[in-house]
Structure 1
């Protein structure tokens, strides 16, 4: 893996790199920096949209575990949201979308390579095809479903903010006991969230409503129909069954000889030593005899029955 990382620097020397905050936290635990307090402060720093919140969290981490600050400072890639390039308008600091795709391929993992690739192609064709049809109907200035949902949630949160006009297109928004400066024309908020994700934050929405404007006009073009149409302008075309594929006079490539290990092959991804285990479903057991909660009829101690309690 280190060879791949070195090659990325050589092939893409000017590319901006991010590191997954979840994997970075796992590395911190393996290095001996753990605990509930460190966990909470780490994610405050990773999710911080402005330097003030980040520095405050790092200051508290320094008081809790001084060595952890030095460890995090040595990370060359971007891992906190306040350092992300605002031109990208993407605030993802984890690789959850990759894990989601990995989970979707779970039913196909025990298939041969060609069958595996064919199933993935079919799955991608279905997903992209649905979005291709949706892109045909969406208007060029219409928001994507994700942006619509985010804007609705932030609009609801903006009810508890208060905007004051400072003149010159600048405003001051009070959120609880904290004030945030906003420059509406530049699309900049002191909290940093607006410029980080491309969708107006609750402070900006409060100002937009204060000025009797439409919040949709202040959303990044990346979250509108024109960009959606461009993203899904092509789709995967259907293919005939493999029995109808053309034949080629090429040498047959056989798979390498492998000795099958004992036991059933695992389908789930092997979790790291410091990753959280999947919790059991929180279900309540009710006894069929005494109708009491906390045990079943097989382990019933002979408590009072429902008729006796009546």
Structure 2
């Protein structure tokens, strides 16, 4: 249901859950699904994510760094980010194509359904299309489809892709600018500047922080403990002699 791109699809999937189990349906409605379903996303950000996997991935990558002291932790995280950005920058520079590899993979997954679309033209670059028994309206000028997937993702949906295949149009020319190779390269142009060692850091007027002396821990040392442990044996010998 979270993946529903439009309200009719949302209602259909919601109804399926209600028929499956009323208790599950009631629990689901308490979570306010309109706040996390694609059908109610605002148009413009061009992001269809319904989870925080990217955040979890980065959080996992800094797991070992969090066990360190504050300065060491920040240095380690900065180095991890620096190397990651540098690798992605090199990958973006070497990539040849209109859009990023993500777009190519995305469209490849839609190709089978797009090839099955029945397309009929209208005026003003609008098209009537049928797929799996349902009709859709595609507008190439406005870059919209009645399924709303194109508007949400910024990448042509299977219906718009079907029109483009029918007309012999390159689909990547209709992809949002955020997924273009040029934008990908610009994103990783400026990375994290390497930090110099501690000897190069500016020195303020405050006194330097030095490692404190480890104090003697309270309690007897091992030698004293050894002496005390022999006392019960001596006392037992004296009592034995007295008894004799």
Give the whole-Å Cα distance in 1 for the aligned partners of 2:4 and 2:31. 15
Q: Does structure 2 conserve the Cα–Cα contact (< 8 Å) formed by 1:200 and 1:215?
A: yes
Alignment match of 1:247 (pick from 199, 203, 206): 203
Structure 2 SS opposite 1:46: coil
Give the whole-Å Cα distance in 2 for the aligned partners of 1:70 and 1:47. 16
Structure 2 SS opposite 1:106: coil
Alignment match of 2:56 (pick from 99, 112, 121): 99
Partner of 2:100: 144
**Does the alignment pair 1:208 with 2:164?**
yes
| Higher-RCO chain (CA-CA 8 Å, sequence separation at least 6) | 2
Alignment match of 2:88 (pick from 125, 131, 135): 131
Partner of 1:117: 74
Count of residues in Structure 1 that have an aligned counterpart in Structure 2: 207
Q: Does structure 1 conserve the Cα–Cα contact (< 8 Å) formed by 2:98 and 2:173?
A: no
Please give the residue correspondences for 1:1-310 in structure 2 after superposition, counting only pairs within 5 Å: 45-63=1-19, 64-65=21-22, 67-68=26-27, 70-73=29-32, 78-136=35-93, 142-250=98-206
Residues 176-198 of structure 1, C-alpha deviation per residue, up to 9 Å, x if partnerless?
22222212211111222111100
Give the whole-Å Cα distance in 2 for the aligned partners of 1:114 and 1:137. 35
Larger radius of gyration: 2
Gaps of 5+ in 2: 211-244
Task: Output the TM-score relative to the length of structure 1.
Answer: 0.60
TM superposition shift of 1:154: 1.9
Give the whole-Å Cα distance in 2 for the aligned partners of 1:185 and 1:120. 45
TM superposition shift of 1:138: 5.5
Give the whole-Å Cα distance in 2 for the aligned partners of 1:227 and 1:213. 22
Structure 1 SS opposite 2:119: strand
Give the whole-Å Cα distance in 2 for the aligned partners of 1:250 and 1:156. 68
Give the whole-Å Cα distance in 2 for the aligned partners of 1:241 and 1:187. 52
TM superposition shift of 1:88: 0.9
Structure 2 SS opposite 1:171: strand
Give the whole-Å Cα distance in 1 for the aligned partners of 2:151 and 2:205. 56
Give the whole-Å Cα distance in 2 for the aligned partners of 1:219 and 1:153. 15
Q: Does structure 2 conserve the Cα–Cα contact (< 8 Å) formed by 1:58 and 1:69?
A: no
User: What is the Cα-based RMSD across aligned positions, in Å?
Assistant: 2.6
Q: Does structure 2 conserve the Cα–Cα contact (< 8 Å) formed by 1:172 and 1:182?
A: yes
Task: Output the TM-score relative to the length of structure 2.
Answer: 0.74
TM superposition shift of 1:202: 1.4
Residues 5-38 of structure 1, C-alpha deviation per residue, up to 9 Å, x if partnerless?
xxxxxxxxxxxxxxxxxxxxxxxxxxxxxxxxxx
Q: Does structure 2 conserve the Cα–Cα contact (< 8 Å) formed by 1:61 and 1:69?
A: no
Gaps of 5+ in 1: 1-44, 255-310
Give the whole-Å Cα distance in 2 for the aligned partners of 1:209 and 1:90. 25
Residues 84-116 of structure 1, C-alpha deviation per residue, up to 9 Å, x if partnerless?
122111111111111000111123232212111
Change over 3 Å in CA distance of 1:230–1:164 after alignment to 2: same
